[in-house]
Amino acid sequence: MAERSKTPRHVAIIMDGNGRWARKRGLPRAKGHEMGAESVRAVVRACRDAGVKYLTLYAFSVENWIRPKEEIRGLMRLLRIFLSKHEKELHDNKIRLRVIGRIADLPKDIQKELKRVGRETEAYRGGTLVLALSYGGRAEIVDAIRQLAGKVKKGELDPRRIDEETVAAHLYAPDIPDPDLMIRTSGEMRISNFLLWQLSYAELYVTDILWPDFREDAFKKALKEYAHRHRRFGNIE
């Protein structure tokens, strides 16, 4: 029988359209990213109100490092502001901060702040905000394979015993359940190297709304659509 849950436990979002939002208004791309940060706050609140336990945001991909240096500096500045300005909101709402990706690629001061906030919120059970930073789905799988290969080489793991559970246990956040719903803004019909392993059975929802305009009402609409989906996981009706 198909599983049908009214509220997704885990929502993942590809936050797309900041640049287009700014361009349509004759503004610099940085302004689009600033407004996008406000949408992050709105969706975090909406998740809390709806009972969504995990929210994963594709904040910065491994491919984003090829963008102009000025834009990258601006994005890192916004991340610093987010951590300093909105940390209190995480504490007030008992939300845990997690980070996935190749964190060592980030500036040292940001790495330090991410670790500190993560450590100080790790006991919270009001919800979990996962930031995907310097993240790529293929990179995550490659990193898992490297770990497995190292264990095989040391004689700690029999390669014949490697199965899906073994691989999943070596991903960045193996304790976090796979997303039930993946939202992409700006109307693009692709997953852009995001959570390739974890999205295997997620429901996909694409909206033409650009990320800076995606607020509580738009999120609620996505949840309403999800509530009408029938998740079969390979089974028949």
Catalytic residues: 16, 64
What are the tokens at 5? 């849950």
Q: Is there a contact between 137 and 65 (Cβ–Cβ < 8 Å)?
A: no
Render the burial of 122-160: b for 16+ CB within 10 Å, e for the rest. Answer: eebeebbbbbbbbbbbebbeebbeeebeebeeeeebeee
Phi/psi at 205 (nearest 5 deg)? -135, 120
* Closest-CA residue to 229 (of 52, 53, 7): 7
Distances (CA, A) of 195 to 31, 57, 82, 151: 27, 11, 23, 24
